[in-house]
Amino acid sequence: MRNYKMTIQYDGGRYLGWQKLPKSDRTIQGKLEKVIGEMCKGDMKIIGSGRTDAGVHALGQVANFKADLDMSPHEIQEYINHYLPNDIIVADIEQVDDRFHSRYNVKTKDYEYHIYTGEFQSPFYRKYSWHIKESLDMDAIDLAIEILQGTHDFLGFSSVKKSKKSTVRTLHSISYKQEGPLLTFVFTGDGFLHNMVRILMGTLVEVGQHKMSPQDVKNVLGTKVRADAGITCPPHGLFLSAVHY
């Protein structure tokens, strides 16, 4: 059995997220397992680096599967992409060490969030960015970013109710760049809780709108109460951009 690592890109707009669901074929994992299973002539289980929610996109999702195939990686890639819907693509595939595990071996992940700041939403970015036309106080956002970076319990910035698992994560950096009307934030961390990036982004926007202060952000790290944080921003501006091993 050979172990194959795939880098996958997808437009998540019409899907219910990454994870396969028993009563729906509208998942990324489900689409991939169907095509790869047909290629291997049997049931197939692929392992993703993590889940993305409904409506969230990926530029660099990673998954692996094991199979005994008499095909080159390029031939496998051609087969999979031929039968996948055109909003999912295997951008790269390679044979890797048998011990490689796309989820357990992750060191860091990068998520991007796109905000469109023009007065009117662009027809070309409308499916991939959150439209906010009022100006944001970036100095206030910078202060909030300084507070959020580092190792903290991010329970208050997640949709996790109660968990026996640790909700402590290390957020290595939050950066942003403005290119014309498109404002892109990049979150790099060792792992992210459910809805964590979307809540962090919603919180930073509210800080930029003076609906919250940087001190409010610090307080959420202390109270760990979801209601104290900002809104959960829309999914369509979020991209899993890279997974690092």
Q: Which one from 53, 137, 142, 190 is the annotated catalytic residue?
A: 53
- Determine the pLDDT at residue 61: 98
Using CA atoms, how far residue 44 sits from 20, 139, 219, in Å, is 12, 49, 46
Q: What's the fold here for domain 2-96?
A: Alpha-Beta Plaits (3.30.70)
User: What pLDDT is attached to residue 117?
Assistant: 96
Average pLDDT, the chain: 97
Confidence (pLDDT) at 164: 82
* Strand-strand pairing, 130-131 and 108-116: parallel
CA distance 75 to 60: 20
pLDDT in tens, 31-81: 999 999 999 999 999 999 999 999 999 999 999 999 999 999 999 999 999
Contact 125, 196 (CB under 8 A): no
By DSSP bridging, strand 182-189 and strand 168-179 are: antiparallel
Query: Comparing 2-96 with 108-244, is the CATH topology the same?
Result: yes
Percent of all residues in the chain with a pLDDT value above 70, rounded to a whole number: 100
The tens digit of pLDDT for each residue in 139-183 reads 999 999 999 999 999 999 999 987 789 999 999 999 999 999 999
C-alpha dihedral (21, 231, 109, 154), degrees to nearest 10: -100
Domain residue ranges of the chain, discontinuous segments joined by +? 2-96, 108-244
> Is residue 245 scored above 80 in pLDDT?
yes
pLDDT single digits (tens) 106-136: 999 999 999 999 999 999 999 999 999 999 9
For the cut 80, the answer to whether the pLDDT of residue 187 exceeds it is: yes
Q: Given the structure tokens 């942003």, which residue do they identify? A: 176
User: Which fold is adopted by the domain 108-244?
Assistant: Alpha-Beta Plaits (3.30.70)
What's 133's DSSP letter? -
10 has a pLDDT exceeding 90: yes
Count other Cβ atoms within 10 Å, centred on residue 188. Answer: 18
Catalytic residue status for 153:
no
Q: Where are the beta strands (DSSP E) in the chain?
A: 2-10, 47-48, 57-67, 88-96, 108-116, 130-131, 150-153, 168-179, 182-189, 238-244
